[in-house]
Amino acid sequence: MPLERLLKPSSIAVYGASENRGPGRRILEMLDLLGYDGAVYPINPKYETVLGKRCYRDLEEVPEGIDAIVFCVNHRLVVEPFKAAAARGYGGAVVLDGGFAEVGEEGRGRQEELEAAARAAGMAVCGPNCMGVLSPRHRTSLYTSNLLHPEKLPGNVAIVTQSGSIAIGLLTDCRRFGFSHVVSTGNEAVTTTAEFIEHLADDPDTRVIATFTETIRDPERYVAALDKAADRGKPVVVLKVGRNVRTRRAIASHTGGLAGEARVFSEILKRHRAIEVGDMDELTEVLACAQGARWPTGRKLGVLTASGGQAELILDVAGTAGLSLLPLSEGGLREARRVIGSITGDGNPLDAWGDGNFDVNIPHGLKVLEDEPDVDSIVMVSDSRDDSPMVPTQYTQYLADTARRTAKPCYFMNTRPGLFRQEFADALRAAGVPTIGGARQGLGAVDRLARWSMPGFDPLPEPAAAARVAAWLGNGKPRRSRINEVDAKKLLDGAGVPVVPERTATSRGEAVDAARGIGFPVALKVASDDIPHKTDQGLVATGLADEATVAAAFDDMESRLERISPPPSDAVFVVQAMVRDAVELFMGVSRDPDFGLVLAFGVGGVLVEILDDVALRPLPLRDGDANAMIAETRGRRLLGAVRGRAARDVQAVRECLTALGNFAWAERDSIAEIDLNPVMALPRGQGCIVVDALIIPREDNP
């Protein structure tokens, strides 16, 4: 799609231009206000001129091959002129009005007509149901809202948002950063967020890309676009809504899409080096932080304050948010005390109050942080706002001097977001120092940018694609919706996943013989594709200590099976060794509808549902993923030595998790889900064992 013709058009047609108040007038006014010097073609049969410009009766009067056209009319009047514009070779179109896929079948039909015409003509489209496109650096506007202070708009931040109101809100504040392009994508009938990111990754005017996302339209292209932006050195900052059921229902009615599972999406963003934020404060602070002359390359923060209370507040925030504020080194603390005197706590944050002589203490404190080996970024804290009676302009000069001298990035921070003195922000910007706000949001922004700048995990060697599952399902056998635990464990055992010793039996005598061969105590189960939850139907018995209890359990389960209607045709009895002195874990694989296979790990048994303590990773795994997943869960503490109980075999757990991930990825054409629960973690050196397993094949598996 020719996005250049939409984002930097040299000619613009305004369909529905009008003297009346509305989008057709506002767009013409904004083009004049911005100083757009390209050709403009108002179209409306009611007028001969609009705002002093010749007005054309219809598209036939307008030259062919116009770069961009914006439709400012009701949705019922859009389809036919849109098709005509596509046929006449227009490069891009903006459809502002709603009334398309977001409102139901009739609207979806209109949207499909637009899409078909645009794709046939290779025309880029913004919308429908959007605010349009604004490119301040190129003085172009296909954007329907009024703009305040257009001279302040140009900058290096590109915004791609599915919500028009988010664009309006961001454009109201250009105090710390401006914009290269602002795109309100709406329904994304043709051109998606992913395509805009692809284009902006190569845009010389854009340094950082921010997105407000409700729905991912083309997941594969989306992650490729994130990779491209990261490779070009441009962070993509993502605010994704749809974290709860009510939000997902609202999204379906708002843009006609579906929202993916939030935790999976978060892991996808990490995998592809995007920066995820949770709200608008966090988003704007990351964008402000990215205005620095240098970006952080490590997460270790050094904070300078002139208040013990601020230092304590920041320590609390850092502890809750997982930020890295290491104590000053012994030499650094000694040097700080030499000039400043008494220091609060361990020196980071560094309270420079001392004897109140800030002209000495603040520059000295900054020098201490500059020289400190365990500080990657320097943050100076001083609360102020435009109407503040405090005017410590010399403090900002000290920070500017430090920034010009040190290779470490420097920041000026107010403990509340959005408050600062504009004169300070302007002076510091000239020195390459961003102004950030909010102890949580501001410091979190520095940390997010630092994590983005750090190298990611390397990919593991990719396992060769396999077809063991497909072979198991083939050979003329009836279609299986599930693969029961006996067959599932045979498949997993062949892929290096450790499974519990077990034998199958078809009679009471065989079950007793199997138990005697394995050694008491044992467990007895019924395995069947048709019975995924055996415990619920009384088809699991554990701790069977002798032949008599095995025989009794067999008879009981046999009678239970006879009462199931219809009876399972593939039921088989399974005798398993009992695994003792173990911590129960869960490992599983599921298929996200957008992003494919995802590996999960957490505490096992019934606690996996109660605690909701699960770490996720998209497949294929990277080097370090399995370790990181174990470390992320609260249940990791159960794997350590607790009250005299031996620590568990974490290395074996890691190897099992890796083997499961590799098996699932190798079998990705055949797998929908895998459920291993419980996986028993034994004492260190004794391994871990999968006790129960279930594989669900893909419905579309050949």
The per-residue pLDDT for range 255-304, each reduced to its tens digit, is 344 334 788 899 999 999 999 999 999 999 999 999 999 999 999 999 99
- At 425 the pLDDT is 93
Widest pairwise Cα distance in the chain:
100
Q: How far apart are CA 5 and CA 534, in angstroms?
A: 61
For residue 474, give the amino acid letter: G
- At 250 the pLDDT is 45
- At 413 the pLDDT is 96
217-231, 428-442, 480-494 — which is least confidently predicted? 480-494
- At 434 the pLDDT is 98
Q: Domains along the chain?
A: 3-278 (3.40.50.261), 301-453 (3.40.50.261), 501-578 (3.30.1490.20), 583-697 (3.30.470.20)
5-19, 101-115, 238-252 — which is least confidently predicted? 238-252
Q: How far apart are CA 490 and CA 497, in angstroms?
A: 10
- pLDDT exceeds 80 at position 700: no
What is the residue whose two structure tokens read 């999976």?
Answer: 264
**pLDDT class of 474 with cuts at 50, 70, 90:** low
Q: Is 194 left (phi over 0), alpha (psi -120 to 50) or beta?
A: alpha
**pLDDT class of 49 with cuts at 50, 70, 90:** very high
Kindly report, residue by residue over 361-392, the tens digit of the pLDDT: 999 999 999 999 999 999 999 887 776 665 55
E strand or H helix at 381? strand 377-381
**pLDDT class of 155 with cuts at 50, 70, 90:** very high
103 burial level (CB within 10 Å; 0-12, 13-18, 19+): middle
The segment with the largest mean pLDDT, out of 348-352, 607-611, 630-634, is: 348-352
Q: How many residues does the chain have?
A: 702
- At 478 the pLDDT is 58
Residue 606, number of CB atoms within 10 A of its CB: 12
- At 480 the pLDDT is 78
If one compares 612 and 74, the residue with the highest pLDDT of the two is 74
Give how far Cα 208 sits from Cα of 39, 198, 292, 641, Å: 30, 13, 12, 46
- pLDDT exceeds 70 at position 476: no
If one compares 172 and 389, the residue with the highest pLDDT of the two is 172
For residue 75, give the amino acid letter: H
- At 258 the pLDDT is 37
- At 611 the pLDDT is 58
Per cent of the chain over pLDDT 90 is 75
Per cent of the chain over pLDDT 70 is 92
If one compares 566 and 222, the residue with the highest pLDDT of the two is 222
Kindly state the average pLDDT of the residues 241-268.
59
- At 243 the pLDDT is 61
Kindly state the average pLDDT of the residues 166-177.
94
Q: How far apart are CA 130 and CA 96, in angstroms?
A: 5
Kindly report, residue by residue over 516-527, the tens digit of the pLDDT: 999 999 999 999
**pLDDT class of 533 with cuts at 50, 70, 90:** confident
- pLDDT exceeds 90 at position 187: yes
Question: Which tokens sit at 77?
Answer: 């009047």
What is the residue whose two structure tokens read 């809202």?
Answer: 145
* Summary mean pLDDT of the chain: 90
**pLDDT class of 205 with cuts at 50, 70, 90:** very high
Q: How far apart are CA 273 and CA 275, in angstroms?
A: 7
- At 562 the pLDDT is 87
Q: How far apart are CA 656 and CA 497, in angstroms?
A: 6
Kindly report, residue by residue over 550-567, the tens digit of the pLDDT: 999 999 999 999 888 888
